[in-house]
Every structure is written in structure tokens, then in C-alpha cells.
Amino acid sequence: MNVILHRRYRFSASHRLHQPGWSAAENRRVYGKCANEHGHGHNYVLEVAVTGPVDPSTGMITNLADLDAFIERHVLVEFDHVYLNEQVPAFRSLVPTAENICRVVYDRLRAYPHARLASVGLEETGANSFEYAGEFREKP
């Protein structure tokens, strides 16, 4: 029996949506107020979904303390209360949109050893949320 566990975490960060090779007008056209040269911030809600068989001896997919520690170490320590564009190396060359944040977080968490990562969700605002479950591949 496989079950999916969803666990939520919170972090606050600021960012600027901006393509360095574009003009200020083009950045404003594409990213709107999110292209503000001084950046802006969000209180993000990160939802991590892991899946696997239920261990008959514990009755769990994974120990929550293990999952929490892994996510703290691989994501929250580096993402919480920072300016993503400059303080998270991945975003020095990648626009820190919520979509890209999901992908970067997913790649960091794939190595979790106690269950399989199913997806990463990110709520940026009450109106915007995103989910990434790895690269889509059509069945042969």
C-alpha cells in the first residue's frame, strides 16, 4: 500500500523578476510590478509530497522528524529571509519565479532517502500557487 504524505513549511523571501538582457520597459511589460528594481517579498507556503509504502512496524511512510530536518537543511536554511536573486546561487542565473522556485526546491529534495518525492507545491499569494512533479515524459 502506497500513501502520499503532504507536509507544509513556511518561509519568507524577497525577489525581483527581471531578465538582465531585456530593457526596463520589456521587463515591466512581462513581469509588471514584480520587475520593481528594489524587489518585493512573499510569505511562501511550501508543500512537499512524498510517497512510498507504509512501514508495517511504524505505520508510517517516513518519520516526520527526518523529513523536517532534511527540508530545513536543504531548503529553509538557505531560502528563509533572503533576497533570492543574490543569496541563493541557483537564482543568480535563473529568474526566481514561483515556477522556478518549485523546480529548484524539487531538485534539492529528490535525494530524500526515506521516501520518494512526489511533488513540490508553492503558494506565493492567496491567489497564486504552483506544483511541480518532475519532468513530464510521454509514455512510449
Residue 14 domain flag: yes
Residue 140 domain flag: no
Q: By residue range, what is the domain housing residue 52?
A: 2-132
pTM of the model: 0.92
Tell me the average confidence (pLDDT) per consecutive run of 10 residues in the chain, 140 residues long: 93 96 96 94 98 95 98 98 97 96 97 96 95 71
Tell me how far apart the alpha carbons of residues 106 and 9 are, in angstroms, rounded to a whole number: 14
How many domains does the chain fold into?
1
Asked if 102 is an active-site residue, the reply is no
Choosing from 15, 81, 102, 123, the catalytic residue is 81
Choosing from 102, 124, 131, 138, the catalytic residue is 124
Q: What is the pLDDT of residue 2?
A: 83
Residue 26 domain flag: yes
The CATH number of residue 73's host domain is: 3.30.479.10
